[in-house]
Structure 1
Amino acid sequence: MPRYTYSCDDCGPFDAWATMSQAEEPACCPACSGAARREMAMPHVSTLNPRLRTAIARTEKTSSEPKVVSREHLAGCGCSLCATRKKKPQPIERRWSLGH
């Protein structure tokens, strides 16, 4: 449920939660119980999770020109590129054996 900014003529601006279907309807002012109209406001970006904010910025940055990456990876990185490569069979190391 989004949080919208409303403005009461008598009391001033306040924030309130409302469903998207109720977004265009006036809200009840918490101070004077009068009708308050919704104001256009910037999204509350500062309240976003920092990881989500970084991911959105990275997506917007690479939307017009993707970043070129190399196929060189560290050993055992676990990414999808390394998982699809065929791995060389490891030689069998025998530490000890029974027999004559």
Structure 2
Amino acid sequence: MPIYTYTCNDCGTFDTWRTIVDATNEINCPICTKPSPRQVALPGLNLMNSTLRGYMSRSEKSGNEPRVVNKKHLAGCGCPICKIGKPKERPTRYKWMIGH
């Protein structure tokens, strides 16, 4: 259940847990028990780090319609996916070469 903010004309604002179905209904103030309407809250996107905001935006977009990526590799690009190219040859070492 999300937390919603309600405003009492006498006591001020207060937060309470409500179901989404009951969120639009007025609730009684916990101090004076007068009916209090829900306060409309705007998301604090300007307070969020711009990098994090970008990640969240991309996450929301890809949740509904994931983007299909077709990546073509160049010959010998060396990426671990395609493994194109010969492995590097190691120089031959003999016991008599140690220390020389």
TM-score computed with the length of structure 2 as normaliser: 0.50
Higher gyration radius (CA) = 2
